[in-house]
Structure 1
């Protein structure tokens, strides 16, 4: 059975990170227009068809999320 206090601690940390991310998007959303338009993101637009696959953006966000998770586990565990 997992430790309920540790689970609560992780939920609080995740909640704080979501609030911080929401604040960044809310206050700096106009400055983040490049997100999703990085070199390597695939975008095809035709008359009645749009295809968008932000592979570079996903890799960047995945790397940042992994760094944050590693830092949280290193300093809080």
Structure 2
């Protein structure tokens, strides 16, 4: 079974426990791997405009966060 949060493959016995742990430990976009970022963008309706590299996908996600009134993770530190 594939975890819908982190996209890792698990046996059906381990899967329910893993999902609980994944949900309890939310990641910021900066901490996600490329497949996780793409899934995050898909689930949040973020247009990646053909971005394929992690840096480009992350930039699109952070830019989308600026446009909807939410502050993307890490931007406060960037501005300091």
The alignment's TM-score, normalised by the length of structure 1, stands at 0.22
Counting strand residues as a fraction of each chain, which structure ranks higher?
Answer: 1
- Please say which structure displays the higher CA radius of gyration: 1
The structure whose RCO (Cα within 8 Å, separation 6+) is larger is: 2
Counting helix residues as a fraction of each chain, which structure ranks higher?
Answer: 1
